[in-house]
Amino acid sequence: MPQNHPDTPGTDDTTPALTRDALAQAALRVLQRDGLAGLSMRKVAAEVGVKAASLYWHVRNKQELLDLLTDALLGSAEPPPRTGGWREQFHAYCWRYRRLLLDTRDAAKVVAGRLAPGPHLLGLMEDQLDRLRAAGFSDADAAMASYLLGAFVQGFVLQEQSPISAAEVLGTSRRDIADAAGDLFRALPAETFPNLVALADDLTAPDMDARFEFGLQRVLDGLAALLPPEHR
């Protein structure tokens, strides 16, 4: 085995140290390339130029690696500017979080798999709570609201991405899926499913941004109703 001499610590230039952070970044690359189903210990090990069993020196098991990966994902989230009212601030917050989850493949499934209270998550929670209390929410409401917004975005993106994986399996695009679903609804017996038939177009509208915006506005409306009128 001529490669990888012990006295040449970097055969490629991409072997800086092999810390836990480096493992998380490698896992992130594998996730981006092969998806969550293709994210195996052996592939992550190969990504850092090592065999699979060696990972267990740095990490207790795969779940812990996924926890590190989760926090690495959250690390690329930066809070929106603190300008304007609380409502636009959290509007931007939720949109950024959704965009982050959509940008890397299967990110929603990864973060949904386990509650991993890493340092980045703590920072985000701290920032959100600070803004909510400044906006006039009570302590209990602020804690609830922060949890609600996180669960909403996470759940929405997860639901949103599910048919995408189905479309990948079938080799069809999202638009085709929407059209097929519309045809399916319209083809239902109108006497037992009158509403599905009538609302086929509305139900299968493929504009997920609009659906998200709708849901987000409802949640923000609901939160606003908690505030005394002078805070809006």
The nearest distance, CB 55 to DNA, in angstroms, is 7
114 forms part of the interface with DNA (CB under 7 A): no
- Pick from 206, 87, 106, 91: nearest CA to 153: 91
37 forms part of the interface with a second copy (CB under 8 A): no
Is-contact 78 99, C-beta < 8 A? no
50 forms part of the interface with DNA (CB under 7 A): yes
102 forms part of the interface with a second copy (CB under 8 A): no
| DSSP classification of residue 84 | S
Of the two residues 18 and 197, which places its CB atom closer to a second copy in the complex? 197
79: left (phi over 0), alpha (psi -120 to 50) or beta: beta
Is-contact 154 111, C-beta < 8 A? yes
Of the two residues 47 and 71, which places its CB atom closer to DNA in the complex? 47
Burial (Cβ within 10 Å: 0-12, 13-18, ≥19) of residue 180: middle
Of the two residues 80 and 118, which places its CB atom closer to a second copy in the complex? 118
116 forms part of the interface with DNA (CB under 7 A): no
- Which spans in the chain are helix H? 20-34, 41-47, 55-58, 62-75, 86-103, 107-113, 119-134, 139-170, 174-186, 194-198, 200-203, 208-224
The residues binding a second copy (CB under 8 A) are: 63, 112-115, 117, 122, 125-126, 129-130, 133, 139-140, 142-148, 150-152, 154-156, 158-159, 162-163, 165-166, 169, 181, 184, 188, 192-196, 198-199, 202-203, 205, 211, 214-215, 217-223, 225-226
* Contact footprint for DNA (CB under 7 A): 1, 4, 6-7, 18, 38-43, 45, 49-54, 56-58, 61-63
